Amino acid sequence: MGYLYSMELSQYLERAGYGDLAKELRVLASTSRDQAFRMFKEAARKVWRNSDFVEQAVTLSHEEPKGDVLASLAYAGNVRAIGDSLIVRSKHYTLRIADALLAKDETTIMKIMIHEAVHLGYPRHDADFRRLVREHGGAVSESATGDDSIKVQMKKGSRFETIKTFDDEHEAMKWAKEQMKINPGKYRMIQ
Residues at the interface with Zn ion (CB under 5 A): 142
Least distance to Zn ion from the beta carbon of 119, Å?
6
Residue nearest to Zn ion (CB): 142
Nearer to Zn ion, 99 or 116 (CB): 116
Closest by Cα among 93, 113, 142, 137 to 37: 113
Nearer to Zn ion, 19 or 146 (CB): 146
Closest by Cα among 117, 108, 124, 106 to 40: 117
Least distance to Zn ion from the beta carbon of 115, Å?
6
What DSSP element (H or E) covers 171? Answer: helix 169-182
Question: What is residue 69's DSSP assignment?
Answer: B
Nearer to Zn ion, 126 or 178 (CB): 126
CA 79 to chain centre: 15
Least distance to Zn ion from the beta carbon of 116, Å?
7
Nearer to Zn ion, 8 or 148 (CB): 148
Nearer to Zn ion, 25 or 97 (CB): 97
**Which residues are within 8 A (CB) of 43 and not within 5 positions of it... i.e. 6 or more apart?**
110, 113, 114, 116, 117, 136, 138
Least distance to Zn ion from the beta carbon of 125, Å?
6
Least distance to Zn ion from the beta carbon of 142, Å?
5
Burial of 43 (0-12, 13-18, 19+ CB in 10 A): buried
Alpha-carbon gap, residue 84 to 56, rounded angstroms: 20
